[in-house]
Amino acid sequence: MASIEKTYISGKEYPQYRTWWIDNYYKMKRELGEAIWLYTFDAFYPNEPDEVTPDFLLQHNEDLIEFKNRSEFAIWNTPESTDKWLIKNCNIPSFRNRMLEVYNYKWKGFRGETWIPKPKIKQKCNK
């Protein structure tokens, strides 16, 4: 199965994703080998450091200013392996809703997750 590819959000949602990224930076580095790149970090170009870190983001807000009024833009592009990690570690409602749109509730990445709604099964009528 393919990954969900790009995840689109609004400018109003971006601060929540940015905060989530800061809070999960070291966990991403430890468990994924690197932090997920947010496309919004391009707002720091040409002054972005070799690696965007929580400390850098706490001292810079160009991305927040640039994206705050946008209606829809891509935040990241992730492979299926990262999607599985995100399902377990990202509880942002818009992200979870996107995952439910893309993947079938039986997808292996959802195993063990209690927030995945089960489909409503139509009862058969006995005549």
Q: How far is C-alpha 105 from the geometric centre of its chain's CA atoms? A: 18
Whole domain around residue 84: which residue ranges? 5-110
The answer to whether residue 121 sits within a structural domain is: no
With respect to residue 12, please indicate whether it lies within any of the assigned structural domains.
yes
Is there a domain that residue 127 lies in?
Answer: no
Within-domain flag for 104: yes
Residue 116 lies inside a defined structural domain of this protein: no
Q: What is the pTM of this model?
A: 0.85
Domain membership flag for residue 126: no
Count the Cβ atoms, other than its own, within 10 Å of residue 52: 19
| pLDDT at site 122 | 62
- Tens digit of each residue's pLDDT, the chain (127 residues): 444 578 999 999 999 999 999 999 999 999 999 999 999 999 988 877 788 999 999 999 999 999 999 999 999 999 889 999 999 999 999 999 888 888 888 888 888 888 888 777 665 666 5
In a domain, 123, yes or no: no
What local confidence, expressed as pLDDT, does residue 1 receive?
Answer: 45
Question: Domain count of the chain?
Answer: 1
> For residues 1-19, b (16+ Cβ closer than 10 Å) or e, as one string?
eebbeebebebebbeebbe
* Closest to 38 measured CA to CA, from 59, 104, 100, 56: 56
pLDDT recorded at residue 124: 63
Whether 17 maps to a domain, the answer reads yes
